[in-house]
Amino acid sequence: MEMALSRPGLISLAAGFTDSDSLPVEDARQILNDLLRSRKTGRVALQYGSTQGEAILRNATAQRLAYLDGASDTDAAWSADRMIITNGSQQLLYLVSEVLCDPGDIVLLEDPTYFVYLGIVEALGLRARGIRIENDGLDPQRLDEALASLKRAGRLPRVKMLYAVTYFQNPTGITASLEKKRAILSLLRKYERSAGHPIYLVEDAAYRELRFSGEDVKSALAVPGAQDRVIYAGTYSKPFATGTRVGFGLLPEPVFTAVLRSKGNHDFGSSNLLQHLLARALLSGRYDRHVARLRKRYAAKAAVMRRAMEQHFPDSVEWAEPRGGLYFWARTPARLKTGTDSKLFQTALANEVLYVPGVLCYANDPERAKPDREMRISFGSASESDIRTGIARLGASLQELCG
Ligand SMILES: Cc1ncc(COP(=O)(O)O)c(C=O)c1O
C-alpha cells in the first residue's frame, strides 16, 4: 500500500481494497439524512450503544443469515442473542483467538491463508499449523493426519480452534463445500476427547456475499449437531462499505460471554451511528440492491482480468477463475519464484505493477518449506483499464522470465 501511494505510475493488483466507484455514497447520504432528520432517531444513533451491538442490526443480520442457510429465523443457532457486532470481522477474529488460546497454543488453518490473520497468530504468541487446501476446501485426510500426529506428540491439548476462510478464500478464491465443513467438524469432534476440551471451527465468511456465479453454500452452522462448535464471522465491509468497518459474529457459549467481556474491555461497543446506518440499509432494501449491483461489477472486473490473463500470461502459468470474492491466484512454473526478493517481483516492480507474493500467505511451519511460486492478484480496487494494463505488464514480466 505504501509503495502504491508513493509511486503514482504503479498499478497495484495487490491491495485487498474494494471497488471505490461502487461505494454506496448516495445510499449512505440518504440513510444518514433520514436518521438525523428527526432528533429522536438522531439522538439514539449519536449516543453510546451496547457492547453487544444494536438489537435492530443484530436482528436484521441474524435473519439474513438464517435465510441464506435455509434455516428458520426462530432457530437458536441463528439467534440475534448470540450475535456480537464488532469493528470489522477483524476484531472478532482477534477477540476469539485471544479468548480461546493461550501463548504457545496451536491454531490449525488453511495452507495458504488470509495473511493478516497470521499477524494475529504471531501477536498472541500462538503457533500455526497449515493444512493443505483442495479445490473445495481443507483436505480432511491431511487434517486427520495433523491431528493424529499432534495427539501422538501429546500436543492436542494445545489445539483450541481451526480457522478457515470458507467463501472465495483470500488468497486462493476457493470456496469450501458443505461436505468438507461437515468432515472438518466431525474430525474436530473426534479429537476433542484427547484434547480435553472443545475444538472450535472459526468460519470466516468475509466474502460470502460477493458471489457472482454458482450457488451459495450453507455455512457450517447448517451442519446438524455442530452449532455449539461453530463460530461464524461475517462483515459488512466487503459487501457494503469498507469504511464502515461493521462486522459481526455468531458465537456459542461459553465463547460468546468471554468475547463479549473482552470486547467490553477493548471498546465497550462499536460505533452506534454506523450500526444504525447498516440496519437501515438492510431494512430499506438498499443493501440488497447494492449487493446485486456490486456482484455484477465484480463479475465484469473478474472477466476483464481473465481475458487479460488469457492474452498476456504464458501457458505455463496456472490459474483458475474465481466465482466470487476479489482475487485470482496464479502459480508460476517450477523454479520461477514470486517472493519479494525474486526476479519476477523485481521485474514486475520495474514494469510498475504489484501483486501479493504467495509466500506471505503461508504460516511458519517447521514441517514444510513455504511454497514460493504463487501470486495473489486482485481485481477489487483497480479500474478496468488498470486491470488490463497491470496484467499486460505482469504478463510481460512473466514472458521475460519464462523465456
Ligand atoms: C478473509 C478476510 N477476513 C476478514 C477480513 C477483515 O475484514 P473487516 O475487518 O473489514 O471485516 C478480511 C479483509 O480483507 C479478509 O480478507
Substitution site in 109, 170, 267 for ligand 1 pocket (most atoms within 8 Å of beta carbon): 170
Residues of the chain below pLDDT 70: 1, 4, 403
Quote the pTM value: 0.97
pLDDT score at 6: 80
The DSSP secondary-structure symbol of 177 reads -
Ligand 1, atom 2, lies closest to the CA of 206
Give strand pairing partners of 329: 320, 376
Substitution site in 89, 168, 274 for ligand 1 pocket (most atoms within 8 Å of beta carbon): 89
Distance 354 CA to ligand 1 centre (A): 20
Distance 152 CA to ligand 1 centre (A): 35
Ligand 1 atom closest to Cα of 114?
1
Q: From 3, 68, 12, select the one nearest 383 (Cα to Cα).
A: 12
Q: Report the alpha-carbon distance of residue 8 to residue 67 in Å, rounded.
A: 44
Query: What are the strands, taking DSSP E only, across 136-291?
Result: 137-138, 159-165, 200-204, 230-235, 246-250
Give strand pairing partners of 162: 108, 201
Residues with CB under 6 A from ligand 1: 16, 88-90, 114, 165, 170, 204, 206, 235, 237, 245, 247
Q: DSSP letters along 182-241, please?
A: HHHHHHHHHHHHHHTS--EEEEE-TTTT-B-SSPPPPPGGGSTT-GGGEEEEEESTTTT-
pLDDT score at 376: 98
Substitution site in 204, 263, 267, 271 for ligand 1 pocket (most atoms within 8 Å of beta carbon): 204
Taking the alpha carbons at both ends of the chain, their separation in whole angstroms is: 30
pLDDT score at 1: 66
Ligand 1, atom 16, lies closest to the CA of 170
Distance 98 CA to ligand 1 centre (A): 17
Q: From 74, 43, 44, 42, select the one nearest 59 (Cα to Cα).
A: 74
Distance 15 CA to ligand 1 centre (A): 12
pLDDT score at 17: 87
CB 276 within 8 A of CB 45: yes
pLDDT score at 239: 96
pLDDT score at 373: 96
Query: What are the strands, taking DSSP E only, across 58-181?
Result: 83-87, 106-111, 127-134, 137-138, 159-165
pLDDT score at 27: 98
Strand arrangement, sheet containing 374-378:
318-320, 327-331, 374-378, 356-357
Substitution site in 97, 237, 360 for ligand 1 pocket (most atoms within 8 Å of beta carbon): 237
Give strand pairing partners of 200: 161
Ligand 1, atom 9, lies closest to the CA of 88
Distance 37 CA to ligand 1 centre (A): 33
Cell for 328? 485470482
Distance 239 CA to ligand 1 centre (A): 11
Q: From 339, 361, 354, select the one nearest 391 (Cα to Cα).
A: 354
Distance 378 CA to ligand 1 centre (A): 14
Distance 399 CA to ligand 1 centre (A): 33
Ligand 1, atom 6, lies closest to the CA of 90
pLDDT score at 402: 87
Q: Report the alpha-carbon distance of residue 150 to residue 168 in Å, rounded.
A: 29
CB 165 within 8 A of CB 204: yes
Ligand 1, atom 15, lies closest to the CA of 206
pLDDT score at 40: 96
pLDDT score at 5: 72
Distance 310 CA to ligand 1 centre (A): 29
